[in-house]
Amino acid sequence: MTGYALRRLGGALVVLLLLTVAVYALFYVAPGDPAKLACGPRCNPGQIQQVRERLELDAPLLTQYLHFLQGLVAGRDFSSGTTVLHCDAPCLGLSYQNSTPVTELLGDRLPVTASLALGAMVLWLLLGVGTGLLSALRRGGTTERVLTGLTLVGTATPVFITGLLLLMVFCAYLQWLPFPTYVPLSEDPEQWAWNLLLPWTALALLESAKYARLTRASTLETLAEDHIRTFRAYGVRERSVVTRHALRGALPPVIALTALDLGTMFGGAMLTETLFGLPGIGQLLVHSVRVVDLPVVVGVTLGTGAAVVVANLVADILYTLADRRVALT
């Protein structure tokens, strides 16, 4: 188990290193002039050259990349002409808009996105796994047909439609809930959950549909295996067969999909955050793309990639708890 975890950790570090190479090449080596983007359209060639020297963009590409890595590991200094700005590790650069460290901008928005993603994940797992399991156990019946129809509707309905309907019904018409605003968990846990209930529901309804279909298919496949028939032949109770063996065998693909979805959402559920006015990483990314704030876009991209890699690492370890045979391969 320990050796397996160390091997997966080593693989994750290699993937993260390759990710930095790909992201740096995509944003800084591709055609375009980062110095001109940072300076703005009104800058003359002399001012653009000053920005290029300040950002060390006139250095060889390999040197620029090594400075980028140095910032991630040990921090980095940026000269503004008259003063030197220090960016602590992990440094993703300074925003072109206000010279604020990108990690500081991401850190300010992270609690909002984490609250949205983790809360929605709990809901979509409860709804999706529960619905999928019930559909598998009621295969061929009316219950399965109804649940399959609901999952199809959930899959086909975009989150902005679901979110808009929830706002109109529960906030505008019934007035049971306030229009969502983010309240930090540390200030008021009740208001934090109350204001995030609709964003969680909108996101969970969309995501739970595919989890329901995946759980149903995996459970049916596991129930058809020989060892399940053997348990039933020996008179093991059906509840034990389902909860201890069939559901356990169906979990690995659900864990893998959860890791991927959760990691991606830490890059910002842009539509959901924009629709409900939540100041998360998704909103920051949309604004940064609009004003071409390259370091912030790079930071969000790298952060999302790192979140996916870490989530998959955790998922790989959880695999071994669900199925010990994984650690032996």
Domain ranges of the chain: 32-91, 103-326
Q: Give the pLDDT score at 327.
A: 57
Q: Give the pLDDT score at 199.
A: 92
Helices (H), 237-293: 238-240, 247-265, 270-276, 281-290
Q: Which of 109, 77, 102 is nearest to 294 (CA)?
A: 102
Q: Which of 122, 170, 193 is nearest to 162 (CA)?
A: 170
User: Do 287 and 265 meet the contact criterion of CB atoms below 8 Å apart?
Assistant: no
Q: How far apart are the first and last CA of the chain?
A: 11
Mean pLDDT of 25-51: 75
Q: Give the pLDDT score at 118.
A: 92
- CATH, domain 103-326, list 1.10.3720.10, 1.10.287.3510, 3.40.50.20, 3.40.50.300: 1.10.3720.10
Residue 58: pLDDT band with limits 50, 70, 90: confident
Q: Per-residue pLDDT for 322 more than 70? A: no
Residue 31: pLDDT band with limits 50, 70, 90: low
d(Cα 227, Cα 232) in Å, to the nearest integer? 9
Q: What is the pTM of this model?
A: 0.82
Pairwise pLDDT comparison (8 vs 17), residue with the higher score: 17
d(Cα 1, Cα 172) in Å, to the nearest integer? 53
Longest dimension (CA), the chain: 84
**Sign of the C-alpha dihedral computed for residues 127, 319, 221 and 224 taken in this order:** negative
Q: Give the pLDDT score at 268.
A: 58
Q: Per-residue pLDDT for 136 more than 80? A: yes
Which residue type sits at 206? L
Q: Give the pLDDT score at 138.
A: 83
